[in-house]
Amino acid sequence: MNKKIVVIGGGPGGYGAAIRAAQLGADVTIIEKDKLGGTCLNRGCIPTKALYRSAEVLNNIKRSSEFGIEVGEFSLSPDKVRERKDAIVSQMTGGLNQLMKGNGIKVIKGSGRVISKDEVVVALEGGEKETISCDNVIIATGSSSFIPPIRGVELEGVITSEELLDLPFIPKRLVIIGGGVIGMEFGGIFNSFGSKVTVVEALPSLLNTFDGEMLKRLNPMIKKQGIEVYTSTMVKEISKEADTIKVLVEGKKGELILEGDMVLVATGRKANSEDLGLEEAGIEFDRKGIKVSKDYETSLEGVYAIGDVNGRLMLAHAASHQGVAVAERIILGSEIHEGPVPSCVFIFPELAAVGIREEELKDKGIEYKVSKFLFGANGKALTLGEGEGLIKVIADGSDRIVGVHILGPHASDLIHEAVPIINEELTVDAVKHMVHAHPTLSEAFYEAIMGLKDEAIHLVPRNKKTAGR
């Protein structure tokens, strides 16, 4: 008899798990209270990248004279930008619905509540309830914006990323609370669109989960673009006078009032673990999310939690990978392998990383070597007019590649060359025989790796290898 699996949540983790389980012969039902695709497809990754692409095209138009192209008057149409974004989302959600049908997956619109590993109760849209029997449950309810307890945060004009995506106009002044991935991506986009952007971050650094050296190189680039940044700065209160929103902050130089037409709250996300019946079902959870084992199984045997809701790694691609792995675990009994997970930030220029940061190795006293290659020495980057940034590669004492950090053009694409190398624990010598096409950006990655042994062709030799303990 085929296994019956209920998936609560139709985001990247949920629908990925559902499709893989269906491929393996399971009878699968997805419960989704909103739209298939979750936050990522409808209110996050995809619509944000559609706006990012519009900002990228606009930036290129502004620089067109550098490429020998003179452009006359041009303007940004917020309505058309939004329409393009909506059309892309609609196309992808339509495709996702076809995938459900094609794989024989039943989709129920409603909210699921776990009774046991064998039973889920669904609150349907009309108020009715339906009980579904199953063999296993996969919880994939994702996350939502975290709203900090700041006085005035409920005022009109103080919004989250979801509202900003559908804003019918470009604010002249945008204050962003939070210098993480969401805040910096929107900061870069709306700065390109013409907003005067100010970012307030409580921590000493923006994007603090990335390699410190890369951030030091990024900061002046951000300031050069005209984005004003206040780090180590706390927001104390938000108020409004006429059409102006005032944000009272306190930092290194005392109190300061920042003014904006809109304020974006981008202070992170929280797991959607409410109204799932967790406590009654005996499933352990805390403020970070549902507690899971290394195999993503909850404290209730047979019930799994994947993606943002388990609080481990709030990335759509991590959720997708976990979903597929759990489906195979349930049906095939497969071991779950946690490989290196890349992180990408779509700013100008892009920032991406996978593996270990240099600071981590220093703190642990582990021997390592570092090599860096500037995009300014790469022919393809120069032809693109994007010579800013670099690739930084870290190897351990055995010459195995353990960390790659990229700041520059197409970093979000290039980083995936590093994923299998780190996953398979390849050494510099193993990579040496991998031929890279010319002229490409990937040559910069190859050169950075070969620089670890002073064998890079387009890198000035060092007198002494950079090493640390």
Closest CA to 392 of 219, 222, 225, 215: 215
Q: How far apart are CA 230 and CA 260, in angstroms?
A: 15
Query: At what angle are helices 411-423 and 442-450 packed, to 10 degrees?
Result: 40
**Sequence-distant (≥ 6) Cβ neighbours of residue 431 within 8 angstroms:** 401, 421, 446, 449, 450
**Residue 3 CB neighbours (<10 A):** 16
Asked if omega into 171 is within 30° of 0 (cis), the reply is no
- Which residue bears the tokens 């805040």? 183
Bridge partner list, 6: 29, 137
CB 45 within 8 A of CB 19: no
Q: At residue 394, what are phi and psi to the nearest 5 degrees?
A: -120, 135
**Residue 294 CB neighbours (<10 A):** 8
Q: Which helix (H) or strand (E) holds 199?
A: strand 196-200
Chain centre to alpha carbon of residue 265: 17
Q: How far apart are CA 63 and CA 51, in angstroms?
A: 19
- Which residue bears the tokens 């006078």? 241
Asked if 416 is an active-site residue, the reply is: no
Q: How far apart are CA 412 and CA 353, in angstroms?
A: 9
Q: At residue 417, what are phi and psi to the nearest 5 degrees?
A: -70, -30
89-94: Cβ within 8 A, 24+ apart: 89/37, 89/41, 89/42, 89/46, 89/47, 89/50, 92/37, 92/41, 92/46, 93/35, 93/36, 93/37, 93/41, 93/42
Asked if omega into 439 is within 30° of 0 (cis), the reply is yes
Q: Which residue in the list 321, 410, 436, 438 is annotated as catalytic?
A: 438
CB 23 within 8 A of CB 101: no
CB 3 within 8 A of CB 331: yes
- Which residue bears the tokens 């021997």? 367
The residues annotated as belonging to the active site are: 438
